Amino acid sequence: MKKRPALLVLLIFSVFFLCFANQRGSLDVYLFYGDGCPHCKKEEKYLHLYEEKYADLNIHRFEVYYNDENMRLFGRIAEDMGADVSGIPFLIIGDEYIVGFDETLTPARIQNRIEECLERKCPDPASKILFEHSSDMLTDKTGSLAEDEMEQPGKGERQRIITLPLLGDIDVHTSSLPMLTVVMGFLDGFNPCAMWALIFLISLLLGMEDRKRMWLLGTAFIAASAFVYFLFMAAWLNLILLFGLVFWIRLGIGILAIVSGGFSVRDALTARSLECALAGGEERRAFRDKLKNVISQNSMILSLCGIIVLAFMVNLIEIVCSAGFPAIYTQVLSLSQLPTWQYYSYILLYILFFMLDDMFVFVAAMLTFEITGMTTKYVRIARLLGGLLMLLIGMLLIFKPQWLMFG
């Protein structure tokens, strides 16, 4: 009988021990997002659900598009974690981070990681940096995305749908980027610097008797030119993806778009002739002489190699004249978080329409034995439209970048 109090104390102690041993600790999660980012908005829907499901989950949110302090904090944390900061949303759970959002994979990954860190205490390197940064940053000043928008997902989604005769319902959000790609690529192709070298080549090819050689050399020149442009745009894209989240980079490209667009509109309205400013008389004569030497080679292989080399040389020089459109387009492309293969697919689509006028001029010349270049009237209209488009995109990049985010 005397042992009962001791057994009772031991039983109570055991119960308390088991309760505290099984009690799950709280978990701090850190979300870096952009106001207007469609991928961030999708992730927020799930994060709100997880907040309701897990009482011990605390999500700290930091807006980075318009808050420079949060952007600097984002950079410090990402650098400390050795993280890729090419995109948002950027979610930190314990000592792991999740970049971007994929509706089929990311929600389950987030939930599994939350449950794992609630069950066992995960390292939290971000909390130390937050404390060091300042006590003010521990409080989310920007708040979460708009509550009414999160509670009514159908409303926002429906506003993206328009109904057109014969075509039916069109999702503006998903179709806008392909349409923008086609329009910008097509207008960029009317740049005078993109045409004069081909006209020179065609004028020499038309004097040849071997039609097979004519087609092969002309096609090689166009293909090499397209490849150079692809490399140039891919380089721009990767550079912007590396630094694209920095506000000043986006601001700089926005200013470039406005300045380039202003010059294009001015030239379209006032210039007497729309010629490539970088291709002076001496450069053109030197290029024409080199073309003659290359084409006159007896060896078809030597002629092909020479044509490809000349295409690389002239396009690398003249690409400075048309750097505006690729820089502006790749900045817009980087705002839409896409798989890598989609980025390059869009660049290929852009180049296809960029080269469309070259291909038309070349094929028409080969079939009719006459050079049918684009008239000044059409080039002037294209420059005007292209300039106005650049002005619009430049202002959006500076003031409303979220309008250029296509999901």
Mean pLDDT over the full length of the chain: 75
CB atoms within 10 A of CB 305: 14
Burial of 55 (0-12, 13-18, 19+ CB in 10 A): exposed
Tokens of 381: 């209209």
Same-domain pairing of 190 and 112:
no
Q: How many residues does the chain have?
A: 407
* Residue 391 resides in a domain: yes
pLDDT for 361: 82
pLDDT for 16: 42
The rounded percent of the chain whose pLDDT value lies above 90 is 5
The answer to whether 118 and 58 are in contact (CB under 8 A) is: no
Return phi, psi of residue 357, to 5°. -70, -35
Q: Which of 116, 148, 180 is the last residue of a domain?
A: 148
Highest mean pLDDT among 83-92, 157-166, 287-296, 351-360: 351-360
pLDDT for 281: 60
Of 34-43, 134-143, 204-213, give the lowest mean pLDDT range.
Answer: 134-143
Integer CA distances (angstroms), 303 to 220, 288, 344, in order: 10, 14, 30
* Residue 7 resides in a domain: no
Same-domain pairing of 102 and 233:
no
Q: Average pLDDT of 253-281? A: 76
pLDDT range class, residue 227, cuts 50, 70, 90 = very high
Strand duo 96-99 + 168-171: pairing: unpaired
Q: Average pLDDT of 235-252? A: 76
pLDDT for 141: 46
More confident residue, 88 or 243: 88
Same-domain pairing of 228 and 372:
yes
Same-domain pairing of 133 and 192:
no
pLDDT for 267: 81
Q: Average pLDDT of 141-157? A: 43
> Is the dihedral angle over the CA atoms 303, 309, 314, 319 positive or is it negative?
positive
CB atoms within 10 A of CB 105: 11
Q: For the segment 87-128, what is each residue's pLDDT rounded down to a tens digit?
A: 788 899 988 888 888 888 888 889 888 888 888 888 888 887
Same-domain pairing of 27 and 129:
yes
* Residue 199 resides in a domain: yes
For residue 328, give the nearest of 252, 218, 214 by alpha carbon.
252
Indicate the number of domains in the chain: 2
- pLDDT beyond 90 at 367: no
Q: For every residue of 31-90, which 3-state class applies, written as one string?
A: EEECCCCHHHHHHHHHHHHHHHHCCCEEEEEEECCCCHHHHHHHHHHHHHHCCCCCCCCE
Same-domain pairing of 91 and 178:
no
More confident residue, 282 or 307: 307
Long-range contacts of 371-376 (CB under 8 A, 24+ apart): 371/199, 371/202, 371/203, 371/206, 373/195, 373/199, 374/190, 374/195, 376/273, 376/274
> Is the dihedral angle over the CA atoms 141, 46, 30, 39 positive or is it negative?
negative
pLDDT for 175: 56
* Residue 155 resides in a domain: no
Q: Which of 115, 148, 181 is the last residue of a domain?
A: 148
Same-domain pairing of 354 and 240:
yes
Q: Average pLDDT of 1-5? A: 51
Same-domain pairing of 90 and 187:
no
pLDDT for 253: 84
Of 150-154, 193-197, 388-392, give the lowest mean pLDDT range.
Answer: 150-154
What's the CATH code of the domain at 57? 3.40.30.10
Same-domain pairing of 337 and 217:
yes
* Peptide linkage before 178 cis (omega within 30 of 0): no
Q: Average pLDDT of 189-201? A: 73
* Residue 357 resides in a domain: yes
* Residue 31 resides in a domain: yes
* Residue 49 resides in a domain: yes
> Is the dihedral angle over the CA atoms 126, 130, 133, 137 positive or is it negative?
positive
Q: How far apart are the first and last CA of the chain?
A: 74
Same-domain pairing of 209 and 328:
yes
CB atoms within 10 A of CB 366: 16
Task: Characterise 401 by phi-psi region: left (phi > 0), alpha (psi -120 to 50), beta (else).
Answer: alpha
* Residue 156 resides in a domain: no
| Domain of 50, in residue numbers | 23-148
- pLDDT beyond 70 at 194: no
Same-domain pairing of 123 and 245:
no
In angstroms, the CA 390 to CA 367 distance is 36
> What is the side-by-side order of every strand in the sheet holding 96-99?
57-63, 27-33, 90-93, 96-99
Helix (H) or strand (E) holding 382: helix 376-399
- pLDDT beyond 60 at 151: no
Same-domain pairing of 188 and 117:
no
